[in-house]
Structures are given as structure tokens and as C-alpha cells.
Amino acid sequence: MPALREMAGCIGVSLLVNRQSGRCIVTTAWETDEARRAGAERMAPMRDRAAEMFGVTANVEQWEIAALHRDHHAPDGACVRATWVQGPQGQMDPGIDYYKASVLSQLEDLDGFCSASLLVDRASGRAVSSVTFDSLDAMERNRDQATALKIAAMQEAGVQELDECEFELALAHLRVPELA
């Protein structure tokens, strides 16, 4: 964290952890692509050292923040459900518009909803939606309703689910502006 805070153009970091599977996702956000490239060079040794300490291989991916909506900041104990999807290449914009116009408002109605984001990789046609809840209990209470919403949204957007995972939000220091 201290090293990231010193990097010009870094506007935040988050850490998602699934203790059962050992899966961990560190996300950094940058003001500009130039700042991201400069930060990547400085972060590579830190990332490699952390991966070595945990005995894992780091996988680095770049995503565009297509939508971000916060109802309120996540409290301690917040949890995240992330769903990765694959859509037709070249059809990203209609899917983003649908997510912003329809999905976000339905997610916001879920009890314990904190925030939602949609990250996209236009070149591959992949996207990931992450929905943050106040607590594990809130995420579990909404499981059926959230699953029904997810299935309907995927059908409407013409995408297929690649993966889904639930995480603890271990660190949330993102200063990304609202993008809904």
C-alpha cells in the first residue's frame, strides 16, 4: 500500500480473498494509461516477490472500468461476488449500455448492496461484474434473487458465464469516480 500510494497516477487498490480456495485478486486503478504503464514497471518486482512468498504464479490482466456505481462505501466485513462472462467480440458497447441501464438499478435493490462494477476486455469479449455487499450474511440472503437476475441479464446480453467466485473484500482503497 505505501509503495502504491507513492506512485503518480495510482487512484487505488483493492484486495479480494477467498480463503477456502486460496484465490486472491489484487486490483489497481490508474488515472491514465501512461500512469498504469509506469506503475506496472515499478510494481513488477513487488508482485513477483509476493507471488514467490505465497508460492503462486501471478496472472496480470488489464481491464477497462466500463461501469462503477456505489450506493455507499463498503464496511469492514464486506463481501464480493464476481462473475466473469464471455460475449461476442465487437459487441461490448450494447452489453455495457444494458448493464448501466437495467442491471445496476436491479442490483441496487438487493438488501445490503454496497456497489457494483463492470470491467471489460474489449479485445477478448470478456467482462467481469463484481457486486459488493455489506456482509457475508447480506450476500447469502440475496443469493437466489441475485442468481435469477444474473441468469436473466446474461440471456438478455447474449453472454455466457465463464466463472463465478465469492470473496472477502480485504482491502478497499479505490478512489475511482462514479461511472454509471
Beta strands in the chain (DSSP E): 10-18, 23-30, 64-70, 79-86, 113-121, 126-133, 160-174
Residue 150, pLDDT > 90, answer yes
Tell whether 124 is covered by a domain.
Answer: yes
Residue 142 banded pLDDT, cuts 50, 70, 90: very high
Say whether both 16 and 79 belong to one domain: no
Report pLDDT for 179: 67
Say whether both 45 and 68 belong to one domain: no
Say whether both 30 and 48 belong to one domain: yes
List the helix and strand counts (H, then E) for the chain: 6, 7
Say whether both 159 and 110 belong to one domain: yes
Say whether both 107 and 163 belong to one domain: yes
Residue 2, pLDDT > 90, answer no
Tell whether 35 is covered by a domain.
Answer: yes
* Strand order across the 10-18 sheet: 23-30, 10-18, 160-174, 79-86, 126-133, 113-121, 64-70
The CATH number assigned to the domain holding 86 equals 3.30.70.100
Q: What is the mean pLDDT of residues 47-76?
A: 90
Residue 19 banded pLDDT, cuts 50, 70, 90: very high
Using an 8 Å Cβ cutoff, are 11 and 174 in contact? yes
Say whether both 48 and 103 belong to one domain: no
Query: Residue 24 is part of which domain span?
Result: 2-54
Residue 166, pLDDT > 70, answer yes
Q: What is the mean pLDDT of the chain?
A: 91
